[in-house]
């Protein structure tokens, strides 16, 4: 049976609007859980094992035992893709602490819930992507690693949501979060790159950026096509003075940036972005374009 939006929930495959979890699930009550976003193209999950590895590390970091093995989760994803209406789409894979009494003690939760939702996700309308994203630098700071390590993809995204609200109020498409030292960390749901004098620069993960799978791929692709790269701390000045800027992420893929805090960038889309976009699409075709 082919469904437009489909959810795998603890062994059951259901239309998403029929999938339910208890209201006392600690993922809902306290944001106690982890997740991954996974793209699929031509009914093939893109870089699935990288996503499952990161999910496992996030779960281990919060002492959450995933009740399925990597092979079992792979089978779940494949089954979900087969049941989805379109060849291309997006999967949100979630593991919550599970149902338990009120009170945040995780010991009270007997069994985690595993949820995988297949649907479409567009981070930005096509016309806006073609014109280039408009960014602001948010007043909301990225949580420091001694509060919540950014390498953990937890269900707690409230500070990113607050930054997104700020972008909405400013009429912008996305917001950039700085870390506690005032250096660039990341977007609300994406990593950020800039280009200066032909060099591709991005903040190191130690500055508060998620260890993005698309981020890593872009760095590898840049080196493979002869673009010099550097992971280095960046300030707001570096954003304003950039020749190009773009966002990366599983949901975002690659999105060129037209302006930051109403300062227009010289290139949108710039030549470096266009080369990387082409290389990114070639990689998808190579990894997902063959017969299943």
CATH number at residue 171: 3.20.10.10
3-state SS record for 75-102: HHHHHHHHHECCCCEEEEEEEECCECCC
The mean per-residue pLDDT over the stretch 225-241 comes to: 98
Which residue would you say has higher pLDDT here, 143 or 97? 97
Residue 1 lies in a domain: no
- Split into its structural domains, the chain has a count of 2
Would you state the structure tokens that stand for residue 169, as one six-digit string?
A: 């109020």
Instruction: Determine the pLDDT at residue 291.
Output: 54
Query: What pLDDT is recorded for position 123?
Result: 84
Do 141 and 172 sit in the same domain of this protein? yes
26 and 65 share a domain?
A: yes
Q: Please check whether residues 32 and 137 belong to one and the same domain.
A: no
Residue 107 has pLDDT above 90, yes or no: yes
Residue 172 above 60 pLDDT? yes
Round the average pLDDT of the chain to a whole number and report it. 95
As given in the structure block, the two tokens for residue 210 are: 């998620």
Determine the average pLDDT of the residues in 256-270.
95
pLDDT digits 0-9 by tens, 6-38: 999 999 999 999 999 999 999 999 999 999 999
- To the nearest 10°, report the CA torsion of 47, 200, 231, 124: -50
Answer yes or no: are the C-beta atoms of 129 and 80 closer than 8 Å: no
Alpha-carbon distance of 139 to 148, in angstroms, equals 19
pLDDT band at residue 4 using 50, 70 and 90 as cut-offs: confident
Residue 248 lies in a domain: yes
Domain carrying residue 190:
126-287
Tokens of 152: 């953990």
| Collapsed DSSP state (helix, strand, coil) of residue 104 | coil
> What DSSP designation does 207 have?
G
Write the CATH number for 111: 3.30.470.10
Q: What is the pLDDT of residue 115?
A: 98
Predicted confidence band of residue 2 (pLDDT cuts 50, 70, 90): low
Residue 1 has pLDDT above 80, yes or no: no
Where residue 129 falls among pLDDT bands split at 50, 70, 90? Answer: confident
Whether residues 36 and 175 fall in one domain = no
pLDDT score for 290: 60
Residue with tokens 């972005």: 273
Q: What CA–CA distance (Å, rounded) separates 182 from 33?
A: 29
How many Å apart are CA 197 and CA 49, to the nearest integer? 35
Q: Are residues 114 and 135 in the same domain?
A: no
Residues 56 and 159 in one domain: no
Of 271, 210, 212, 201, give the one whose Cα is nearest residue 239: 201
pTM as predicted: 0.94
In a domain, 292, yes or no: no
pLDDT of residue 245: 98
Same domain, 148 and 114: no
As a whole number, mean pLDDT of residues 182-187 equals 98
Please state, in angstroms and as integers, the Cα–Cα distance from residue 276 to each residue in 47, 61, 93, 218, 261, following that order.
18, 33, 27, 7, 25
pLDDT of residue 153: 96
Q: Is a pLDDT exceeding 70 seen at residue 119?
A: yes
Residue in 42, 107, 128, 153 annotated catalytic: 153
The C-alpha atoms of residue 86 and residue 125 are separated, in whole angstroms, by 19
Are 243 and 256 in contact, with CB atoms under 8 Å apart? no
Instruction: Give the DSSP H or E segment for 237.
Output: helix 236-240
Confidence tier at 147 by pLDDT (50, 70, 90): confident
Residues in the chain: 292
Rounded CA Rg of the chain: 19
* Active-site residue flag, 292: no
**Does pLDDT of 292 surpass 60?**
no
Q: Is 148 exposed, middle or buried (0-12, 13-18, 19+ CB in 10 A)?
A: middle
Is the same domain home to 188 and 274? Answer: yes
Binned at pLDDT 50, 70 and 90, residue 145 comes out as confident
161 and 258 together in one domain: yes
**Shortest CA distance to 193 belongs to which of 179, 176, 173?**
176
């Amino acid at each position: 049976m082919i469904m437009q939006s489909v959810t795998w929930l603890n062994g059951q495959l259901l239309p998403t609007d029929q999938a339910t979890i208890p209201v006392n699930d600690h993922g809902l009550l306290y944001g106690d859980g982890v997740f991954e976003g996974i793209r699929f193209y031509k009914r093939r999950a893109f870089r699935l094992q990288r996503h499952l590895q990161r999910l496992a590390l996030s779960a281990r970091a919060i002492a959450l035992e995933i009740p399925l093995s990597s092979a079992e989760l792979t089978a779940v994803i494949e089954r979900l893709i087969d049941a989805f209406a379109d060849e291309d789409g997006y999967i949100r894979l979630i593991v919550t602490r599970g149902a338990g009494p009120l009170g945040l003690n995780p010991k009270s939760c007997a069994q985690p819930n595993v949820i995988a939702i297949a649907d479409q996700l567009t981070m930005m309308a096509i016309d806006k992507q073609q014109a280039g994203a408009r960014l602001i630098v948010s007043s909301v700071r990225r949580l420091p690693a001694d509060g919540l390590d950014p390498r953990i993809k937890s269900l707690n995204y409230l500070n990113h949501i607050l930054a997104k609200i700020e972008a909405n109020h400013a009429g912008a498409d996305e917001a950039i979060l700085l870390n506690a030292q005032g250096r660039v960390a990341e977007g609300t749901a994406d990593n950020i790159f800039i280009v200066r004098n032909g060099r591709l620069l991005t903040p190191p993960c130690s500055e508060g950026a998620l260890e993005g799978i698309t981020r890593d791929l872009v760095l590898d692709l840049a080196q493979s096509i002869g673009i010099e790269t550097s992971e280095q701390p960046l300030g707001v000045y570096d954003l304003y003075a950039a020749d190009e800027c773009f966002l990366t992420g599983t949901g975002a893929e690659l999105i060129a940036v037209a302006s930051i805090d109403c300062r227009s960038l010289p290139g949108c889309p710039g030549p470096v972005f266009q080369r990387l976009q082409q290389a990114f699409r070639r990689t998808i075709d190579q990894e997902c374009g063959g017969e299943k």
